[in-house]
Amino acid sequence: MRRRGVLGQAGLAGILASCSAPAVLAQPVIRWRLASACHPSLDAVYGGTEQFARQLGLLSGGRLQVTLLPTEEPVASLPLLEALQAGEIDALHAVPSHFVAIDECFALDSAVPFGLNSRQMSTWQLEGNGLKLLRDFYAQHQIVNFPMGNSGAQMGGWFRRELDSPADLADLRMQMGGLGARVLQSLGAVPQQLPMGELVGALERGQLDAVEWVGPHDDRKLGLGRVARYYYYPGWWEGSAQLSLYCNAKAWRALPPDLKAMVEMAAQSVHAAIQARYDVLNPVALKQLVASGVRVKTFSKPVLDAAFKASNALCADLSRRNPAWRRIYADYSAFRREQNLWHRLAEASFDRYLQSARL
């Protein structure tokens, strides 16, 4: 973070002292360097990163100038996180589940298999205990976090062959990261993590049997629909996948209260915008995919049941081994229970009626 003083505060304060006015002090211009963990081709997300920078410039009248650093391909998240922690960048638009190898708790800020849906995740953070618990966790990583985007429930990915029973998961080489990869492994599959640019080729050659990416819009752009026929849903490992704004804790603390409020508001605004953008883009892409011959299928109940059981086992194991996980997940899972009890009444029955009606 670099600051450039624009006016000696004492001098201006002296000038203003003669006025019966609210204090108008010349504020230093603060410059933030922002990076994105997503490639610009993920335009719903990357457009949100750009929007965040623009909005802060507008809100602050130029007092907080956020520069979005050019993104290299392939994007490697870990060096970006280290750069943030070292203060080489001030903010990172992150996919927290990229960091589960450091600590599984990162997944609780993004996607837990069979976890909270998009609305529930926002609610947990805004009005439940989520943000507070995650802030406690992130403090040790020199991060101050804000939810900034969600994809909604992702699709279950692209398969070269149909997947009928849990036995079909045996030795399945499937592209997947986050905690979903661990669940998949416990079911006998072999999770892979290839760079984005290699996915289509690997799936086409049969080096991969399946690829999960995001949803119809991003998947279609990447070309996955051209090389695999079966498109499954739901992505039970990402019933919602949240992105977060990570601020370097020191850079954050250096902001005056009004700029802190602006960062928070801009992040909230982008949080809503990214979800909305995906919801507008995905139906269009899905229709195009179906028109091109893709077969859209749901995972069978036995597959979902096996995955649910394995996910619960993983979460229970993490609660035994990782004290921070135990503390946060206890709240997360209680919240999930409450929300699903409530949403199955008015929300679900209303949605179900409309989804089966001739509109």
Residues between 111 and 170 with contacts to a second copy, criterion CB under 8 A: 114, 117-120, 122-123, 126-128, 152-156
Stretch that binds a second copy, among 8-16, 71-79, 90-98, 219-227 (CB under 8 A): 8-16
As measured in angstroms, the least distance from the Cβ of 254 to a second copy is 17
Cβ 70 to a second copy shortest distance, Å: 25
Q: How many residues does the chain have?
A: 359
Residue 22 or residue 70: which is nearer to a second copy going by CB? Answer: 22
Is 238 assigned a ligand-binding role in the annotation? yes
Total residues binding a second copy (CB under 8 A): 89
213 annotated binding-site participant = yes
Candidates 54-62, 94-102, 137-145, 165-173; binding stretch for a second copy (CB under 8 A)? 54-62
**Angle at Cα 41 formed by Cα 35 and Cα 45, nearest 5°?**
55
Q: Residue 244's closest CA among 318, 157, 138?
A: 138
Q: Which two tokens stand for residue 268?
A: 């909230």
Question: What is the nearest approach in angstroms of a second copy to the Cβ of residue 119?
Answer: 6
Task: Note if the bond before 22 is cis, omega within 30 degrees.
Answer: no
CB 162 within 8 Å of CB 230: yes
The single residue listed with the structure tokens 């081709």 is 41
Structure tokens that stand for 20 in this block: 């019966």
208 to 237: interface string for a second copy, x by CB under 8 A: -------x-----------------xxxx-
Within positions 288 to 307, which residues make up the interface with a second copy, using CB under 8 A?
Answer: 296, 298, 304
Among residues 83 and 131, whose Cβ is nearest to a second copy?
131
Per CB under 8 A, does 272 bind a second copy?
Answer: yes
Vertex 80, ends 74 and 83: CA angle to 5°?
145
Shortest gap between Cβ of 62 and a second copy (angstroms)? Answer: 5
Cα 227 off chain centre by: 26
Using CB under 8 A, which residues numbered 26 to 45 contact a second copy? 26-27, 29
Task: Using the structure block, give the residue that is written with the tokens 């992150």.
Answer: 94
Least Å distance, CB 17 to a second copy, is 12
Nearer to a second copy, 138 or 237 (CB): 237
Q: Is 32 annotated as a binding residue?
A: no
**Which H, E and C letters describe 123-169, residue by residue?**
HHHHCCCHHHHHHHHHHCCCEEEEEEEECCCCCCEEECCCCCCHHHH
Over the window 320 to 359, marking each residue x when it contacts a second copy by CB under 8 A and - when it does not, the resulting string is -------------x--xxxxxxxxxxxxxxxxxxxxxx-x
Bridging pattern class, strands 143-150 and 242-248: antiparallel
As measured in angstroms, the least distance from the Cβ of 24 to a second copy is 5
Whole-number Å distance between alpha carbons of 304 and 299 = 7
Exactly one of 273, 289, 314, 315 binds a second copy (CB under 8 A); which one? 273
| Residue 24 sits in the site that holds a second copy (CB under 8 A) | yes
- Is residue 49 part of the contact set for a second copy (CB under 8 A)? no
Cβ contacts of 241 within 8 Å, gap of 6 or more: 95, 97, 110, 111, 150, 151, 154, 214
Residue 73 assigned ligand-binding role = no
CB–CB of 78/99 below 8 Å? yes
Nearest to 180 by CA among 69, 310, 80: 310
According to CB under 8 A, which residues from 181 to 200 bind a second copy?
none
Instruction: Lay out the site mask for a second copy across 232-261 (x = CB under 8 A, - = otherwise).
Output: -xxxx--x-----------------xx--x
Minimum distance of a second copy from residue 287's CB (angstroms):
8
119 vs 280: CA distance, rounded Å: 16
Annotated binding site: 154, 212-213, 238
Annotated binding site for Na(+): 213
Annotated binding site for substrate: 154, 212, 238
